Amino acid sequence: MIRKLLNGDIDRVADIWLKTNLKAHYFISNQY
């Protein structure tokens, strides 16, 4: 189901974004 982003969703969305970006850009250190 797709719905509008709610303020309470921000932490979860940011966590998904970070994890997928770290996987996609494995050649960049996680500490960066």
User: For the chain, how many structural domains are there in total?
Assistant: 1
- Distance of alpha carbon 15 from alpha carbon 11, whole angstroms: 6
The pLDDT score that the predictor gives to residue 5 is 95
Mean pLDDT in residue range 3-28 = 94
The pLDDT score that the predictor gives to residue 32 is 73
For the entire predicted model, the pTM comes to 0.68
Domain that holds residue 28: 1-32
Cβ atoms of 30 and 22 closer than 8 Å: yes
pLDDT reading at 30 higher than 90: no
**Given the structure tokens 């970006």, which residue do they identify?**
21
- Distance of alpha carbon 25 from alpha carbon 3, whole angstroms: 28
- pLDDT tens digits, residue range 16-25? 999 999 899 9
